[in-house]
Amino acid sequence: MTRWGMAIDLDRCTGCEACVVACAAENNIQTVGEEQAREGRAMHWLRIERYYEGEFPNVRTRFMPVLCQQCGAAPCEPVCPVYATYRNPEGLNAMVYSRCIGTRFCANNCPYTVRVFNWFDAEFPAPLDSQLNPDVSVRPGGVMEKCTFCVQRIQAGKDEAAQEERDVADGDIRTACQQSCPTKAITFGDLEDPDSEVSKWAESPRAFSLLGDLDTRPGVVYLSGSEWREPAE
Amino acid sequence: MSGNDGKRGEPRVTIGRRDFFKVYAAAGVAVLQGCRRRDEEWIESPVRRSTALPSASVWRRSICGQCGAGCEIEVRTVDRLAKKIEGLPEGFVNAGGVCALGHSALQELYHPDRVTEPMRRGASGELEPVSWEEALESAATAIMAAPDATTVVSGAPSGPLLGLWRRFAVAVGAPAPVHWQSTDLVVEREAARLSLGEACRPAYDLARSDYVLNIGAPFLDGWRSAAHFAGAWAKLTADRRGKLVQVEARHSLTAANADDWLPVRPGSEGFLARGVAGLLLGSGTVGEAERAAYETLYPEAPPDLAATAERCGIDANRIERLAAELSRAERPLVMVGGSALDGGNGVAAGAAGLALNGLLGAVGREGGVFAGVDFGFEDRVAGDAEATVPPATLSDRLDGAGESSVLVVSEADPLHGMPGFEAAFKGASTVIALSAFFDDTTLQADLVLPIQTDLERFQAVEPDPVRGIPALLIASPTVAPRGEARHPGDVALALAAAAGSALPWPGFQEAVEASLSDAFTATRADAEGAGALPASLITGALNARQFVRRTTDAGGLVGTAEMRRAPVRPAQVDGEGAPAGLPDPASMAAPAAPAGVEAFTLIPFESVKLGDGRGANRPWLQELPDPLSTVMWGSWAEVATEDADRLGIHTGDIVRLTGTAAEIDLPAIVLPTVRPGCLGVPVGGGHADYGRYARGRGVNVNALLTADRQVAGVGAFARGGVRVRVERLRRPRRSERPVIYGRGLRQAEEIPVGWAPHDGGKA
Amino acid sequence: MTAAGERHLVEAAYERVEDMRAVVEAALESGIAASQIEVRSPAPLEEDELPLPKPKSRVLLFALAGAVLGGLTAFGLAAGTALAYPLPTGGMSIVAGPPVGVVTYEGTALGLILMTVLRVLWEGGLLPGRGIRSGRGRASDLDHHVANGRLLLRVHGLSEEQAGRLRDSSRTSAVEVG
Amino acid sequence: MAVTRPEGLPSGRSRSLGDGEDGGRFGCRCAGPLAGIWILGLALVACGPTQNLPTPEQPIAYDHQVHIEAGLECVRCHRGAEEGVHAGMPSVQACAGCHRREIPDHPEVQKVMLANENREPIRWAKVNVIPDSAMVHFNHRAHARAGIECLTCHGDVASMTVAEPVRNVADMGWCVECHRENEASDDCLACHR
Amino acid sequence: MTAESQPSAAVLDGQLLGRLDRRRPGLLVGSLASGALALVFIYCWGYQIANGIGVTGINRPVFWGFYIINFVFWIGISHAGTLISAILRVTKAEWRRPVTRSAEAITLFALAIGGLFPLIHLGRVAIFYYMIPYPNSRMLWPNFRSPLVWDIAAITTYIIGSALYLFLPLIPDAAVMRDRAAAGLRKRFYAVLALGWRGTAQQWHSLEWGIRILAVAIIPVAVSVHTIVSWDFAMTQTPGWKSTIFGPYFVVGAIFSGIAVLMIAMALLRRGLSLERFLTDRVFNNLGLLFVTMSLVWGYFTFAEHLTVWYSGDLFEKNVHHVLLHGDFAVPFWTMVVVNLVIPVAVLSFPRGRRPLPTALVGCGVLVGMWLERFLIVVPALSTPRLAYSIGDYMPSWVELGIMIGAVGVFACLYFTFTQLLPIVSVWEMREGWRHGGSGEAGDATSDAAATSGTAAAPVPGGGGA
């Protein structure tokens, strides 16, 4: 069995946000414009949370990429009345756009606040739409969406492997954010495979789950060691 | 065929979908059961045959031209349309990384407001479409009328294209072109010349260092090559091996990631370098040769700790600790750049910073600083044409050009980026702009020549020498050009031809190939002679033609690792006309005293969002939250918590910044990471047009700068050290509120923060 | 009683129950069966107000049957369909007890309510196509008396003689006789 | 290996196009008391008007049968049908390339030649349509790999002149049934994403 | 109750029928005016459907806004009728007789509107039917684990039950209207509604059984409805929502707001239709006592809810608690406490406060307070998510306000129209009460009320049917 997972090394994340743009480019995420963004309706599937610790001049900044945690016990799933979001056999927290009726219940119940909603139909004035990824649907208004772990790349990777009559190897499938990261702070793969890179990262003593005490069993593992990065005294 | 076939890229699809869903929603279910969208019913067969399967992804290599770094990228194309940019894993500079700006090149390519046909200002004063022939002819006429009053401005990074412009200038009889680049790059080159003995952009071996003192260089923000430095930084800090100490007035992204950040008083960076040098010299860890060399450069005694701490506004013990750690480190490295070089004393500060490397024995040492080297293809293409001149000379050039002056601007927006340029610009009788967009300069131009964007171009780039290895990267276009856009190099050649002084090549690609061919021949003739390439690069090629073919197919030339230039030692130490010493920042006057409590030091900076303003026309980047302030769509002013409390400013309030030249109003963002008395404002906002996403968005902070403030010793504007008055205007109106992504961050300071990185359970 | 020739209907409206009671008692004494007597009232009458047999109702029984039926339907819907058409849930339970319980609960209540109302309408002859046997429940010219708060006595299937007698006896106390 | 038509599937049903409901067939499959009430009540309401699958009018009356008889194979023109995600349409150049030699004077062929001369694409009407609103990403080569033949979905195009739809490819129930019977993935993400 | 009231039964009957017969231009004006307001509702909803759900002010993280607030609010209002009238019927409270009909009508209309709000709230309302379990070609079923599907089950049951519970006792009255109406459209309308009711002993007997069973059955349904509505919140992980107390808390709140709207409606009906003889001061007194009791129970629940959060020390819960009690939402919070607890207790504890006008005014305040309560449940919890980075705010748009106000118009329009067409006081139940002498409401009437009613009572039309 496969359980797709991701590990993010916070010690390597510089907050450069290349992943955020890569994600938007890969997944046809609409830009909502200044007015809508002001209302809090920006649609990034991946955000870099920034927190400060300490006070000037000994202030320390921490960055934390937050995306859908692809929970093993996802709070968003049971509340959807139409099964538009569910847990797929490969451990993805699936989001089926064509099934979604837009109750937004899932988003309310997401402890990570990572779900975003299409308040309006996406607008890609020509020829910006030439860039749209044909493997990803453009979501209509009224539909919830979120990070899919680049499911189109997962499917394409499996298809490619099947075409070549082999198994999917670790590293075959890379998410857009992972691929763009200049510091290689993100790795992606099968958590069930003990030899995969992501499994090894996940076993690091620095590994932790975001809001782990909720026991949502995230598929995203964070790595952070703090001693070196403590504020100067 | 499946129902999904078809060209999703066609413009009408999206519009159709939108309308469809409106109808869908309004009409209800029953009506819809039988009806389908018209667009879904059609599939267009391609005209041209293709080897690729329909809708299959084809990856094409290209070179990112969003900045001068020269990152190698792969472009995913489907049915001849570019879909996605990824870093080439074996990329020479970037090793697989791409920055936010690089990704957004797709939106530059497919921007709905691109200029795709030549335009000329007609009798009505409006720009009207004309044919290329007409456009070139009128441009040539204007240039021929006053060749020596013609000023060429090119924003191309150093490399063959810039060389071509130099050659162009010679051909048409114009003076040497102005190379449009940001101040700190000009200053860096001069500082390296003074301190390292060669006018170059130093190569820093960050990855193998174990302690980096970085004076101002925002290398994680986008300075030189963000992708390269991010990878190097990751290696530096991997397993907590090395440490990065950032000395910078502003809390940049690099400072945010540094292990230690010294918020130095702006303009005193060089003083700090001198102070640290003093501590090092006093620590007894400096070798005699290094000490002697340093004292040759700086005969005067460095300032003592107390003076340094006072002048720099930093705790003495932090400076002391810094010096101690530097002297303890095995492979320390000192970098300079960014805002440290932006001020009037930038050259002195940069030289003082780089000189520390000598003191630490870091010059030419593994994990130290090296000379940035290149193959010199710019000069090969330029021939014996004069070198370019720095940007600050532009105004003088235009003012001195007289009545019928002609300005040829290619890939640059001086009207936006150059303070106080308007007056000089108005003096130009003809402005010819080569641009893909109506940026501020193009908007005022008399003739607009549409040029190709990165992905449509034949690329021949000498990458930024961040690796200390010379390279020439070549790539073919990945997609067909939009409309009638042409390569700027081709335009230059066509312009020269139209002006009756044709250059020997029909196009830019041929020019590059000719220079490669020349290099081959020269190397064959004399492997040690001037203009020769390293012999190893040409082995295996029988003749010049084969060498050119092989090089273009291979995507360029890359020098081998051992070719890395031997350590450069300060020219002065070698005794070749040793000067009396470097300009000592310690001896320079401190920045002007505050004119009042509300006088702040302005720190313009390039955010990862918009870069120098180039990214402002991309919706992805506009909507990208700045990683530190989390602001989207627009400009902002970073105000220190302490100052904000004093002035009664809250996040989002509209503040007015008054400089000597102008005043600008923009929203304030109160941050605990700003040095009190400083004010960070991103550049790149406030475009007059530049497409629908940039138009009128934010403010142009360059308006606060004045042309007369220049960095001593080089022809570049001093962007740093400008003093402005700050006053709170009002609570923002609804439409003025800054678009803050992390809206809760302010409240998070008032109520218990919900999350801290270490309270999570184990995975 | 039915086939023996023409049968007559006597109607009489009364202001008060007491007036009607005397007539009904007299009619019963005269051999008219209780089943021939129909009383229409503007409000429910107490059991002992008229010497007539108490009507029977099985509403409760049907209500309970409805509850069972509704509960089963809802249970089948919530649990059965999910089992018949399992969706991929990645290891999460396809049928969970408490939610099925909630739906079953509501289904039970709905079934009960629907069956109750249906049975009430059935018993009252209020469903379309179902009138009360032997013409009872038909509109009468004297119905407006009921609407205005009076009582209406209708005696069905009388012979001409019985009808005449009843009319005579009614005239004294009735508001109107038809 | 080849799985052409799953057993028990009614063929050539008349169905409404689009995202339609199918109460009738469900009733056949699951005619228990379970859903009886709902079939009567809700399915009828939700059921759209039933109509025949229309054969769209094409800009050029392309004759499949003639081409197949002339010895061409499906993948000659629909190059991606077995190896690609999308089957695709032949380029105008490809059509013109052959027809420069073969019957260039045929009136329908002339249309192709004209399009080639003008460098204009031909707008073919889609025959088998999955509406965009379904957000389905059909992968031809995955189905070819599994041995599903073209005619399972497209019918016997080789014997058609202008291609006609024989099966509502937008009927998700049909897709799911076939997937389940062949033990292909019934995960939503296999198609919807 | 008293001896001298007995003979007046017929008179009272006449009075009541007279009230019903009289044409009331006021009602017509009311219908039209509120109908105009209902057009606002329709326009706003249409605008939203045409342009997208984004025309609202909801955003991330406040994904639920006015629509869900109003949904809970209206469902709460709906408890005015069915539950209260069922309880009164089951307990055989005689003073229920004039109240039940108007209360049940409130239930039905409030429920119809409340049930619309989740649909208005949907991002893609055109495919709302995906939530309904019905056989379909996709072989997909709704997710029965979702509280929203429970909502559908519960609200469907409740709205059907309430409609039938209103309809069943209405049949005899429809027959009265039918038999008194002149031939024509009006008569045919009532004839359809009366289903051929004649008032035979069997019919009455079955009807009484039916009402009795329905009254018992509807109480647990009503309780379950608002419990399930509360579970929309309580079943989540969201801090501020995850509370075991929510079920009973919502039910109490619902009854509380239900009584409030009932008090207002009755005060208006009493004045507007001159029903002083029937909706007597005693009715208001009794309802007032119930009202103040619910206020106290509500206050107790509120206190318990916040005490447990405050005491728990749970970081995320306390964040929500903080913004509620001291932060951005402090003003609405303390307003709510005042109008829901302080004022009702202060006013209704005294007999003088339990008269029509003060109770109605208190009711208005409680309506505002209970709306605020729902607002304070939905918005603060959502705007204060766990990851502080995403903390947000919420400001409704004109569309949401339009729909909210328009919904009141729809309700008023339906209610006025109902009042105009059908007896808002159950005629047969009043008659039953007078017959048994059990309901002495008329006897309690003050002498001046009797005097005014005397003039109004004089003409008793014989009904057009004769």
Crossing angle of helices B269-283 and B288-297, in 10° steps, is 150
Asked whether the beta carbons of D154 and D163 are under 8 A apart, the reply is yes
Q: Residue A34 domain-assigned?
A: yes
E-only strand ranges, A2-91: 4-9, 47-53, 60-66, 85-87
DSSP 8-class letter at D118: T
C90 vs A28, which has greater pLDDT? A28
In the structure, do chain B and chain C come into contact, i.e. share 3 or more CB pairs under 8 Å? no
Residue B28 — left, alpha, or beta (φ > 0 → left; ψ -120 to 50 → alpha)?
left
Q: What is the pLDDT of residues D140-190, one digit of tens each?
A: 999 999 988 888 888 888 888 888 888 888 888 888 888 888 888 888 899
Kindly tell me if the per-residue pLDDT of E455 is higher than 50.
no
Kindly tell me if the per-residue pLDDT of B10 is higher than 80.
no
Task: State how beta strands B150-154 and B178-179 pair.
Answer: parallel
Out of B24, B743, B752, whose CB is closest to E319? B752
* Closest Cα in chain D, distance from residue B3 (Å): 4
Distance CA B177, CA E448 (A): 105
Kindly tell me if the per-residue pLDDT of E300 is higher than 90.
yes
Q: What is the CATH number of the domain that holds A136?
A: 3.30.70.20
Confidence of residue B746 (pLDDT cuts 50, 70, 90): low
Q: Residue A209 domain-assigned?
A: yes
Q: What is the CATH number of the domain that holds B287?
A: 3.40.228.10
Confidence of residue C130 (pLDDT cuts 50, 70, 90): low
Residue the block writes with tokens 């089948």: C76
Q: Residue B712 domain-assigned?
A: yes
- The single-letter code of the amino acid at B288 is E
Residue B470 — left, alpha, or beta (φ > 0 → left; ψ -120 to 50 → alpha)?
beta
- The single-letter code of the amino acid at B579 is P
Q: Residue B104 domain-assigned?
A: no
Q: In this predicted structure, what is the pLDDT of residue B528? A: 78
* Closest Cα in chain A, distance from residue C76 (Å): 18
Q: In this predicted structure, what is the pLDDT of residue E272? A: 76
Domain housing A15: 4-223
> Taking residues E48-65, what's their average pLDDT?
90
Task: State how beta strands C151-158 and C37-40 pair.
Answer: antiparallel
Phi, psi dihedrals of residue B82, rounded to the nearest 5° = -80, 135
CB pairs under 8 A between B and E: 58
Task: State how beta strands B599-605 and B654-658 pair.
Answer: unpaired
Q: What is the CATH number of the domain that holds E87?
A: 1.20.1630.10
Chain E residues whose CB is inside 8 A of the C42 CB are: 172, 176, 199, 427-428, 431
* Closest Cα in chain B, distance from residue D75 (Å): 11
The 3-state DSSP class for residue E133 equals coil
How many separate domains does chain A show?
Answer: 1
Chain B residues whose CB is inside 8 A of the E53 CB are: none
* Closest Cα in chain D, distance from residue B9 (Å): 14
| CB neighbour class for B124 (10 Å; exposed up to 12, middle 13-18, buried from 19) | exposed
pLDDT, mean over chain B: 83
Q: What is the CATH number of the domain that holds B672?
A: 2.40.40.20
B contact test, residue of A129, A133, A136 with most B CBs within 10 A: A129
Distance CA E92, CA B135 (A): 96
Q: What is the pLDDT of residues A20-46, one digit of tens each?
A: 999 999 999 999 999 899 888 999 999
**Domain ranges, ordered by start, for chain C:** 8-53+135-177, 59-123
Confidence of residue B376 (pLDDT cuts 50, 70, 90): confident
Chain B residues whose CB is inside 8 A of the E327 CB are: 747, 751
Q: Residue E454 domain-assigned?
A: no
Distance CA B571, CA B647 (A): 50
E373 vs E133, which has greater pLDDT? E373
Whether B360 and B380 share a structural domain: no
Q: Which of B101-105, D92-96, E446-450 has the lowest mean pLDDT?
A: E446-450
Q: In this predicted structure, what is the pLDDT of residue B589? A: 58
C-alpha to C-alpha distances, B489 to B265, B548, C25, E406, nearest whole angstrom: 44, 19, 120, 65
Whether B215 and B353 share a structural domain: yes
- Residue of chain B with shortest Cα separation from E326: B751
Q: Which of B564-578, B659-673, C57-71 has the lowest mean pLDDT?
A: B564-578
Of B518, E407, D136, the residue nearest A155 (C-alpha) = D136
- The single-letter code of the amino acid at B80 is R
CB atoms inside a 10 Å sphere around CB A206: 15
> Taking residues E307-312, what's their average pLDDT?
85
Pick the CATH number of C8-53+135-177 from 3.90.1140, 3.30.1360, 2.60.40, 3.30.70: 3.30.70
Of E69, E71, E50, the residue nearest E58 (C-alpha) = E69
Q: Which residues contact D164 (CB under 8 A, 6 or more apart)?
A: D53, D55, D127, D155
- Which pair of structure tokens corresponds to residue B457? 């171009």
Chain C residues whose CB is inside 8 A of the D38 CB are: 77
What is the DSSP annotation of B23-42?
A: HHHHH-HHHHTT---GGGGE
Whether B743 and B625 share a structural domain: yes
Q: Which of A94-98, E76-80, E114-118 has the lowest mean pLDDT?
A: E76-80
Q: Residue A229 domain-assigned?
A: no
Q: Which of B201-205, B522-526, D38-42 has the lowest mean pLDDT?
A: D38-42
* Closest Cα in chain E, distance from residue B622 (Å): 19
Using the Cβ of E123 and the Cβ atoms of chain B, whether some distance falls under 8 Å is answered with: no
C-alpha to C-alpha distances, E443 to B188, E16, E18, E20, E237, nearest whole angstrom: 103, 15, 19, 21, 56
Q: Residue A233 domain-assigned?
A: no
Q: Residue B537 domain-assigned?
A: yes
Beta bridge partners of B663: B658
Q: Which of C119-123, D96-100, E18-22, E52-56 has the lowest mean pLDDT?
A: E18-22
Q: Which residues contact C62 (CB under 8 A, 6 or more apart)?
A: C115, C116, C118, C119
Residue A219 — left, alpha, or beta (φ > 0 → left; ψ -120 to 50 → alpha)?
alpha
Chain C residues whose CB is inside 8 A of the E11 CB are: none
Q: In this predicted structure, what is the pLDDT of residue E336? A: 93
CB atoms inside a 10 Å sphere around CB E187: 17
Asked whether the beta carbons of C7 and C154 are under 8 A apart, the reply is no
Asked whether the beta carbons of D175 and D161 are under 8 A apart, the reply is no
Confidence of residue D134 (pLDDT cuts 50, 70, 90): confident
Confidence of residue B592 (pLDDT cuts 50, 70, 90): low
Of D100, E50, E231, the residue nearest C101 (C-alpha) = E231
Share above pLDDT 70 across residues of chain E, in percent, rounded to a whole number: 90
* Closest Cα in chain D, distance from residue C167 (Å): 52
- Which pair of structure tokens corresponds to residue B472? 């020439």
Share above pLDDT 90 across residues of chain E, in percent, rounded to a whole number: 31
Q: Residue A125 domain-assigned?
A: yes
Global pTM value: 0.88
Q: In this predicted structure, what is the pLDDT of residue C170? A: 77
> Taking residues E292-307, what's their average pLDDT?
92
Of B581, B631, B592, the residue nearest B609 (C-alpha) = B631
Whether B515 and B600 share a structural domain: no
CA gyration radius for chain A? 18
DSSP 8-class letter at A57: T
Q: Residue B112 domain-assigned?
A: no
Using the Cβ of E129 and the Cβ atoms of chain B, whether some distance falls under 8 Å is answered with: yes
In the structure, do chain C and chain A come into contact, i.e. share 3 or more CB pairs under 8 Å? yes
How many separate domains does chain B show?
Answer: 4
Beta bridge partners of B666: B655
Whether B198 and B328 share a structural domain: yes
Whether B493 and B601 share a structural domain: no
Distance CA B724, CA B705 (A): 10
> Taking residues E101-112, what's their average pLDDT?
89
Residues of C with CB under 8 A from a CB of D: 73, 76-77, 80-81, 84, 88
Q: What is the CATH number of the domain that holds B532?
A: 3.40.50.740
CB pairs under 8 A between A and C: 20
Q: What is the dihedral of CA B206, B208, B210, B214, to 10 degrees?
A: -10
The 3-state DSSP class for residue C35 equals helix
What is the DSSP annotation of B585-647?
A: GGGSPPPPPPSSTTEEEEEEE-BTTTBTTGGGG-HHHHTSPPTTT-EESS--EEEEHHHHHHH
Whether B382 and B430 share a structural domain: yes
Domain housing E338: 27-134+148-441
Q: Residue B584 domain-assigned?
A: no
Phi, psi dihedrals of residue A199, rounded to the nearest 5° = -65, -40
Q: Residue E5 domain-assigned?
A: no
In the structure, do chain B and chain D come into contact, i.e. share 3 or more CB pairs under 8 Å? yes
Q: In this predicted structure, what is the pLDDT of residue E461? A: 35
Task: List all residues of chain E from 304 to 323 with a beta carbon under 8 Å from chain B.
Answer: 315-316, 318-319, 322-323
Q: In this predicted structure, what is the pLDDT of residue B574? A: 44
Out of A88, A139, A140, whose CB is closest to D187? A88
DSSP 8-class letter at B410: E
In the structure, do chain E and chain D come into contact, i.e. share 3 or more CB pairs under 8 Å? yes
Beta bridge partners of B127: B121
Q: Residue B702 domain-assigned?
A: yes
Task: List all residues of chain A from 72 to 111 with a beta carbon under 8 Å from chain D.
Answer: 86, 88-90, 92, 94, 96-99
Q: Which of B369-373, B504-508, B667-671 has the lowest mean pLDDT?
A: B369-373
Confidence of residue B39 (pLDDT cuts 50, 70, 90): low
Chain B residues whose CB is inside 8 A of the A122 CB are: 14, 18
Q: In this predicted structure, what is the pLDDT of residue E437? A: 62
- Which pair of structure tokens corresponds to residue E40? 């606002």
Asked whether the beta carbons of B614 and B685 are under 8 A apart, the reply is no
Start-to-end C-alpha separation, chain D: 29
Query: Which range scores top for mean pLDDT: B239-248, B521-530, E129-138?
Result: B239-248
D contact test, residue of C77, C92, C104 with most D CBs within 10 A: C77
Kindly tell me if the per-residue pLDDT of E45 is higher than 60.
yes
Asked whether the beta carbons of E72 and E251 are under 8 A apart, the reply is no
Beta bridge partners of B334: B213
Asked whether the beta carbons of E391 and E384 are under 8 A apart, the reply is yes
> Taking residues B275-289, what's their average pLDDT?
89
Q: Which residues contact E303 (CB under 8 A, 6 or more apart)?
A: none
Domain housing B726: 592-750
